[in-house]
Structure 1
Amino acid sequence: MKEYVLSRYASLHPPQEVDLGVTSFTITLERAEVIDFTFPFYVEPSAILTPAGGTSKKILAFLSPFSFEVWLGVLVSFLVLGPLMLALSRSPSGAFLYPYNTPNASRRVSLLGYYWMLCASLFQQGVTYPMSSSSRVVFGAWIVGVIALTCAYTGVLISFLTVPRAEHVVDGLHSLPTQSDFQWTFRRNSAHHSLFLGKDSDGIYEQIGAPFVDYEDGLVDENAEGIQKVLDQTHVFIKERSFLDFAVEEDFKRTGECHLRIAREEFFPAGFGWIHQKGDDVGKLFNRE
């Protein structure tokens, strides 16, 4: 195809003039304003190359089975149920709903006593306190929740202690501005340069480009420079996914160890095409063929 196009137009243009640029040019709006692209022959997302990360700390393994939201829910439930059980045990309506209560005995249980009861049951210890029937129902619901929580916690904790897990600080583009462990970089005068520092950049793209608006020395000119910054564990490198896959494989073949990792979330699926002079017929011929 290339020989056909070039031979057909070779006689129409003087030497040293190029009709078709044949390589993987990323199609961007800023480039399309000054040059034309053929139809994209390949579409690829971008990703983030990060250090492989270390394994989680064993000393903190007891917190790993549940997320922060689950632990917060347990704490809030614990703090709320103590006063609730105390209020139910001393409520005048309890005698009407549960005529066989012993309110005098129930009143001898303080708020601290109910908290102790909840805490002891959480650690599967038996504690006997006089309670009204209404507070006993609430405490029974707490016990059922504790049993389910304990079974889930024990199983997940064993897996965390048995299989080492890597700590991933960066999982995608949106996690970059919220972390402080790594800086980020990308190639100067690339499609990502236009994406993050272009005149139409906004949202998360604008946030990623903000550190380089007045100071572009943090950008790299070569891919090897970006990969080395990741190996030094000071930066993450933003690049097309296929190139990052190749970089991870090459590093593993060279060292026999896994030093690099690609963040889970991808973004900016970009098209790749060949370039030709704006308004000429070479692109039309190529696209038709």
Structure 2
Amino acid sequence: MWILATVGNLPVLYPHNTRTVHYSLLRYTWDCAFALAGQSARTRHTEPVRVLHGMWWTFAVILIYTYTGTLIAFLTVPRLTSLINSLEELANQKDVLWTYRAKTAHETLFATAQPPSTYNKIGQLLKERPDLLVHTDDEGINAVLRGDTAFIKEKSWLDFAMERDYLATKQCRMAQVNQIFFSAGFGWALQEHSIFLQLFNNEILRMSQSGLFTIWRMQNWPSPNECTAGNPGAPAGPKSLHIKNFSGHFFIFGVGLGLALLAFLVERLLLRGFFRDAKSEGEWRGGGDLVVCWVGLIK
């Protein structure tokens, strides 16, 4: 605005502008800030500056109302929740089907469960739909990525599978249900009355109490990322605004800047043409007549 007002404010184009007050760059910067606060301003404006100022006001109004609308939506839109948060919820709906690996402990667990337990409901679907069973872990992951399918698998294996998928795609394409069920313990088998039994028990207990297991897990387990950090299954509200969400606003302001510069160039070209014609014909009589001719040409 300061450049267009200083360079473009010529007496030939604006003879009625008899004021010789020159506003500083800081004054125009302050006027732009006033527009964001809804306040008016009074500065010297040429036609290009009027165009640019009008587009800046438009930009400011749209920006304010967009932010206000997003804030209202944040306060009124209900928080988003996951469709499934437990094994029971999975078994009591049919929008999302499920699968597990065939010929594993999972198949034995669900296939032999007695009704009306949740495990029995899980196994009943696979009895009716044996085509849903997968024979490898990769088939289970692919079934999840195709959509509308859940894969029941050990949490430790799923943690590494999600980590590999995130590193390969940089996208959160999978999520785990928070509930953990069918916890299985692991141990070492020794001979009955072995002299090493008490030694193994004491050392394993000592490593557990000293936090060594926790250190090993931190060193070798996948690090938390944007998909697994915190509580992945917890309800999530609307996302925060970023500068890219306002790209359309800056496009509008860019159009206004282009129109203002175009108006400035048109004025400069018309001014140069009027000077050339007046000099060649010897009919230059002052800035006032020139402005009348220019206005008539525009009309």
Give TM class, smaller chain.
0.3 to 0.5
Flag the structure with more relative contact order, 1 or 2, with Cα contacts below 8 A and sequence separation at least 6.
1
TM-score where L is the length of structure 1: 0.39
More strand, by proportion: 1
Structure showing greater radius of gyration is 2
Q: Would you tell me which structure has more helix in proportion to its own residues? A: 2
Structure 2 length as normaliser, TM-score?
Answer: 0.37
